Amino acid sequence: MAEPKRIRVLIGKSGLDGHDRGVKIVARALAEAGLEVVYTGLHQTPERIAEAALQEDVAGVGLSILSGAHLTIFKRVRELLDASGLKRVVLFGGGIIPSEDIAELGRLGVDRIFGPGTPTAEIVEYVRARLGAGPGR
């Protein structure tokens, strides 16, 4: 019997924000939980993130944004994913995002936002539950 395909997720930092401790902790927690994690590093453009998602065949893209540009960046990444034929890819994220913007992010195609202090176990549980079937589900 073939081994089930592991969940592949891309974790990224877009924009000028250079604070990456939290995103690295999340990436490590996901990897330690058995997921395949592609971490794009700092200062990625939405175009680079969408291209990496396409090349890496991920089931989800998680973005960390602390710069205040969350509405613009999430919107652009979702547009680029959709234009690349990746409508199935789940977009989620976290960072310093005002609660009043979360509903708008949902309308823009962001599945879930995790605020500061969210336990990594909660993020792992979400990713497993939401992306458990993996790419092409």
Residue-range domain boundaries for the chain: 8-96+110-131
The candidate with the shortest Cα–Cα distance to 131, out of 30, 32, 19, 28, is: 30
How are beta strands 8-13 and 36-39 bridged, if at all? parallel
pLDDT digits (tens, 9 = 90+) for 9-42: 999 998 777 888 889 999 999 999 999 999 998 9
CA-angle at 63, arms to 11 and 22, nearest 5°: 75
- Give the 3-state secondary structure of residue 90: strand
Task: Give all strands (DSSP E) within the chain, no chain letters.
Answer: 8-13, 36-39, 60-65, 90-95, 110-114
pLDDT at residue 133 is higher than 70: no
The sheet with strand 110-114 has its strands ordered as: 36-39, 8-13, 60-65, 90-95, 110-114
DSSP state of 70: H
- Give the 3-state secondary structure of residue 120: helix
Task: Give the CATH fold of the 8-96+110-131 domain.
Answer: Rossmann fold (3.40.50)
pLDDT digits (tens, 9 = 90+) for 51-92: 999 999 999 999 999 888 999 999 999 999 999 999 999 999
Q: Note the pLDDT of residue 15.
A: 78
